[in-house]
């Protein structure tokens, strides 16, 4: 009784039902979720070890094999956002003292360099100017010179809007040097082509809230046989318990059919991902990539008509999914973002890291990679620029 009397009501709990405004999310992510995916997420919970739930996990593993274009059985979802996928890749594949070459041309490479240092890697930063990518020749030369344990690259650098090429024998060059090729596809998976096996990639992580049109909270993850051999042959335990893939693998049945508990899988988010992968399968990757490309082209046609210019100088380096648009002289980028939100409930974003103050970032991803959404962005730009008295050059 005394304890009951001691309860303080100074802090207020939320009052009434939750209110969420409807917005068109056209920034770098999350993107607007597909309604069917949101509906899947609202289904009743299952226990994270119940056979019907294990069946859903198996469907996800198989769907991810399609997504990554791999025959490797080693796919799963990390319970966590893209950063958890990033940390899982580095923490499990790098041992203390080993060399890692990190391609840094935006904030994602910077973060991986930081992360790899925390896991006591010997970090070699290969730098490119923001808005540029690495040539396959320079990557091959760096790998041959340093023979690192890992070469890390970002396929879709969402802070600068670049698309890193990954084919042309890069995977073979890594294999020859005993290097694992690790790739961030958070902002690109499902929006642009990716072939894990054909390109000889060893580890890929992604995110659920971009081209897959799901809620954030689960990271698609892939390992090649070479990566799994490295994981199994480690001399030291990974310095993370939460993201130790030896343990997570036994929850996902990588090495034996029986499942063991490591953590409670994010049940509802996995439902969402199961549904997202079903939707991808129904559309098919070629159609999905073509739809993203068409939305990107429609966006740039409209932006060009407004006199706006791409931030990424070389057309071949431009990312389809996250588009970086130069802010013209005298235009207040933040005021335009605010106007887009206030007037049209459309989210467009400013820059990040090296592109802060220089660009807007517009995502055409997943559910929003379609003309209706792109035209709303163009309307918002037209209105926001006119409001600032912008005159086309």
Binding site for ligand PMP (CB under 6 A): 28-29, 81-83, 108, 154, 156, 158, 184, 186-187, 207, 216
CB of 145 to ligand PMP, least distance (A): 26
Write down the least CB distance from residue 204 to ligand PMP, Å: 12
Q: What is the DSSP string of 137-180?
A: HHHHHHHHHH--SEEEEESEETTTTEE----TTHHHHHHHTT-E
Q: Shortest approach of ligand PMP to residue 363 CB, angstroms?
A: 9
Nearer to ligand PMP, 129 or 375 (CB): 129
CB closer to ligand PMP out of 46 and 150: 150
Residue labelled with tokens 């490797």: 72
Contact at 8 Å (CB) between 373 and 31? no
Nearer to ligand PMP, 89 or 231 (CB): 89
CB 161 to ligand PMP: min, Å: 11
Q: Who contacts 179 (Cβ-Cβ below 8 Å, separation ≥6)?
A: 101, 143, 147, 148, 149, 150, 151
CB of 59 to ligand PMP, least distance (A): 22
How buried is 257 (Cβ within 10 angstroms: 0-12 exposed, 13-18 middle, 19+ buried)?
Answer: exposed
Q: Which is nearer to ligand PMP, 70 or 206 (CB)?
A: 206
- Which CB sits closer to ligand PMP, 54 or 104? 104
Check: CB of residue 75 under 8 Å from CB of residue 65. yes
Angle, helices 371-387 vs 333-344, to 10°: value is 120
| Closest approach of ligand PMP to the CB of residue 219, in Å | 7
Two structure tokens written together for 208: 């659920």
Q: Would you list the DSSP string of 272-337?
A: HHHHHHHHHHHH-HHHHHHHHHHHHHHHHHHHHHTT--BSSSSGGGB-SSEEEEEPPTT--HHHHH
Rounded to a whole number of angstroms, the minimum distance from the CB of residue 385 to ligand PMP is 26
Nearest distance, CB of residue 86 and ligand PMP, angstroms: 6
Q: Both tokens of residue 224?
A: 């090649």
Nearer to ligand PMP, 81 or 323 (CB): 81
Q: Which residue is nearest to ligand PMP (CB)?
A: 82
**CA dist 3 → 6, 7, 8, 97 (Å):** 5, 7, 10, 54
Partners of 362 in beta bridges: 323
| Closer CB to ligand PMP, 72 or 81, in the complex | 81
Q: State which residue, 187 or 298, has the beta carbon closest to ligand PMP.
A: 187
Query: Which residues does 38 contact at the CB level (< 8 Å), separation at least 6?
Result: 215, 272
Neighbours of 357 (CB within 10 A): 9
């Amino acid at each position: 009784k005394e304890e009951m009397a001691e309860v303080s009501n100074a802090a207020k709990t939320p009052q009434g039902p939750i209110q969420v405004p409807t917005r068109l999310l056209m920034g770098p992510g999350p993107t607007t979720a597909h309604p069917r995916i949101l509906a899947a997420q609202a289904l009743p919970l299952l226990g994270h070890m119940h056979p019907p739930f294990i069946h859903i996990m198996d469907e996800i593993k198989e769907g991810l094999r399609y997504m990554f274009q791999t025959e490797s059985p080693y796919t799963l979802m990390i319970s966590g956002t893209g950063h958890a996928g990033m940390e899982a890749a580095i923490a499990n594949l790098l041992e203390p003292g080993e060399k890692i070459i990190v391609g840094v041309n935006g904030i994602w490479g910077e973060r991986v360099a930081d992360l790899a240092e925390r896991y006591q890697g010997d970090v070699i930063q290969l730098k490119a100017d923001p808005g540029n990518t690495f040539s396959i020749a320079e990557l091959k030369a760096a790998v041959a010179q340093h023979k690192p344990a890992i070469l890390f690259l970002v396929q879709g650098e969402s802070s600068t809007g670049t698309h890193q090429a990954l084919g042309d024998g890069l995977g073979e060059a890594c294999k020859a040097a005993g290097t694992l090729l690790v790739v961030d596809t958070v902002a690109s998976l499902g929006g642009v082509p990716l072939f894990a096996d054909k390109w000889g990639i060893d580890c890929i992580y992604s995110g659920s809230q971009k081209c897959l049109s799901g809620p954030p909270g689960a990271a698609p993850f892939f390992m090649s046989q070479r990566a799994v051999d490295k994981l199994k042959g480690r001399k030291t335990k990974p310095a993370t318990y939460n993201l130790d893939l030896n343990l997570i693998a036994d929850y996902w049945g990588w090495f034996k059919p029986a499942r063991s508990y490591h953590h409670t899988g994010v049940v509802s988010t996995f439902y969402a991902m199961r549904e997202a992968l079903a939707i991808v399968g129904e559309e098919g990757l070629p159609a999905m990539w073509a739809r993203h490309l068409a939305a990107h082209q429609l966006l740039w046609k409209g932006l060009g008509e407004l006199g706006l210019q791409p931030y990424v100088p070389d057309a071949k380096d431009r990312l389809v999914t996250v588009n970086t648009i130069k802010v013209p002289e005298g235009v207040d980028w933040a005021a335009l973002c605010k106007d887009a939100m206030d007037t049209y409930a459309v989210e467009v974003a400013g820059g990040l890291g090296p592109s802060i103050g220089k660009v807007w970032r517009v995502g055409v991803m997943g559910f929003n990679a379609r003309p209706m959404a792109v035209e709303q962005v163009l309307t918002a730009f037209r209105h926001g620029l006119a409001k600032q008295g912008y005159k086309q050059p």
